[in-house]
Structure 1
Amino acid sequence: MAEVHIIGQVQGATGFPEHSLFCKWGIHAGGAWRIINGQRHGQTQVDLPQNEAMAAWSHPIDIHYVTKGLQGWPKVHVQVWHQDAFGRNELYGYGFVHIPTSPGMHDIECPTWRPAGSWSEHVTQHFVGGGPQLRNPDLVYSGADRYNLKTVAMGTVHLHISVITRNFDRYGVEC
């Protein structure tokens, strides 16, 4: 079977309104894809940069797939969270990007967004914390329902990904 090995890291994030951020990430692939080795999801540590604009995580990604076809090519989805001084966690953004199909090293920027919510939810979020979240986080990377959401643009998550492909030509899988 054709193989794809994805190695890299969730480097960090920029452009968010507050510091003290962490990231929950995952890789989603279609039904024709099977994991040989590695983790399909993870979570970074909280980073509180003192004098820098970028929250640095350098969290590793290492996953090895076998596949029968290109349908359902893997994509990375992220959730960025802010931890306040009281230890409360607040969702700051969702995002996803497709893993590049070409072998090699890739620097990827993943833009994020969060649900806008109503005026009363905005006031509650300001004074109490929290805020609107998706009931089904899979909506971030699947389906057209995502385009019906009212959202607010947030920051960017930076990824450094290396893609290694093997036996694609032998099994008739063409990129």
Structure 2
Amino acid sequence: MGDSTSPSSFTILATGQIECAQIPNCTNAYLKFQFVAGEDWQLLDGLEEGITQAARVPEGRDGVLVWNFPIDITYKTTNAFGWPQLVVAVYGLDMFGRDVIKGYGCMHLPMSAGRYDLNLRLFRPRSASVLQSFTSWMTGMPAEFADPKFPSYGEGREVTRVQSGGQVKVQINLITKDMDMFGYVDGSGRDPAMATQM
């Protein structure tokens, strides 16, 4: 007799916060974020995208932009392919008060249950030519990606010219449910197959 209570999918729950950022020559910025997951991943709860409040570095401080913006998302799937990624884009004001890109970043959510303090490195695209660099400098509009999800794609990134642009600190608490039923070990040390072999 088969087990009729077998789960039809496994679930991951990620909570935490986008804490702060350190970005060279940036004293006022906000952050747009979105989660990008594969086709087999279904959103159960939470927001897949959002925008933080603007943060300003206080005078005489160490250059940290503090957001402490909460994140909370739950997915279910039967397949680990397309594991969710957090994609961020930080925008700040230039000397004319215009919103300009300060940096993009992307990282996969952790694959094991636990609490994580992560540093997400930022980068920004560089102009493809000297003429574009000059035009960008004259207009005050630096190069940016047309598709905000571009940092999460593998295809095409190897030919993109970028420069480093600081980092964002993210704190994530990850919980997994029923991964072992689909043959995945979540790294928590609770793998029942291993326990029965000992």
1:169 aligns to what SS in structure 2? helix
Q: Which runs of structure 2 are paired with 1:4-19 in the superposition (5 Å)?
A: 4-19=12-27
Report the Cα distance in structure 1 between the residues aligned to 2:25 and 2:135, rounded to whole angstroms: 18
Whose radius of gyration is greater, 1 or 2?
Answer: 2
- The two structures have a TM-score, normalised by structure 2, of 0.82
Matched to 2:78, the amino acid is K
Distance 2:170 2:54 in 1: 17
Q: Is 2:86 aligned against 1:55?
A: no
Give the drift of 1:88: 1.1
Q: SS in structure 2 opposite 1:9?
A: strand
| Residue 30 (structure 1) shift | 0.7
The question of 1:163 aligning with 2:174 is answered yes
The residue that corresponds to 1:129 in the other structure is 140
Aligned partners of 1:167 and 1:80: how far apart in 2? 35
Alignment root-mean-square deviation, CA: 1.6
Q: Does 1:152 align with 2:160?
A: no
1:98 aligned residue: 108
Matches within 5 A, 1:21-40: 21-40=29-48
Counting matched residue pairs gives 175
Which of 110, 116, 120 is the matching residue for 1:110?
120
Question: Residues 42-66 of structure 1: CA distance to partner in whole angstroms, max 9, x if unpaired?
Answer: 1111111112321001111001111
Contact 1:20–1:84 under 8 Å retained in 2: no
Question: Which residue of the partner structure matches residue 82 of structure 2?
Answer: 72
8 A contact 1:121–1:131 mirrored in 2: no
Q: Which runs of 5+ in 1 are unaligned?
A: none
Correspondent of 1:3 among 8, 11, 21: 11
More RCO (CA 8 Å, sep 6+): 1
Calculate percent identity across the aligned residue pairs: 29
Q: Which moved more, 1:50-59 or 1:124-133?
A: 124-133
SS at structure 2 position matched to 1:170: helix
3-state DSSP of counterpart to 2:107: strand
CA contact (8 A) 1:21 1:80 kept: yes
Q: Distance in 2 between matches of 1:16 and 1:75?
A: 25
**Using a 3 Å threshold, how does the CA distance of structure 1 residues 17 and 122 change in structure 2: closer, same or farther?**
farther
Q: 1:119 aligns with which of 116, 127, 130?
A: 130
Question: CA contact under 8 A between 2:36 and 2:149: conserved in structure 1?
Answer: no
**130-139 vs 120-129, greater mean Cα deviation:** 120-129
Task: State the distance in 2 between where 1:104 and 1:112 align.
Answer: 24
Alignment-mate amino acid for residue 169 of structure 2: H
In the alignment, the residues of structure 2 paired with residue 36 and residue 97 of structure 1 have an alpha-carbon distance, to the nearest angstrom, of 21
8 Å CA contact 1:25–1:41 kept in 2: the answer is yes
Gaps of 5+ in 2: 1-8, 187-198
